[in-house]
Amino acid sequence: MAHHTGSCHCGAVCFAADTEITQALSCNCSICHKRGSLLSFMPAASFTLQQGEAALTDYQFNKGIIHHLFCSTCGILPFARGAMPDGTPMVALNLRCVDGLDLKTLPVVEYDGASA
């Protein structure tokens, strides 16, 4: 497992993730399209929020099953929380918030969330 760290823009929300990041998912649903996130999904147990729980604001829409968590200071969404189809808690990490990750080296998988 690789160890990654990251944060929102202002640094109020910091995280660590122990996961292999081998690809980025680009979703075209209404929020991902406007936000421009590239995502990587992992079990919630692989993710640690190091600081900033109180700075997070939760936004839900559509079916209300994903908690889109963004920093109330700078507005950046470093991650979201939800569940995999089998009910396992998961985190969707915004790869644009991961320190030192070269996004150009990752294949991007397109997901048609607009039709889901």
C-alpha of 26 from chain center: 11
The predicted model scores a pTM of: 0.93
Q: Where are the domains of the chain?
A: 3-98
pLDDT reported for residue 63: 82
Residue 53's Cβ-side half-sphere holds a number of Cα atoms within 13 Å equal to 3
Domain 3-98 coded CATH 3.30.360.10: no
pLDDT digits (tens), the chain, 116 positions: 899 999 999 999 999 999 999 999 999 999 999 999 999 999 999 999 999 999 999 999 888 889 999 999 999 999 999 999 899 999 999 999 999 999 999 999 999 989 98
* pLDDT given at position 86: 93
How high is the pLDDT of residue 20? 96
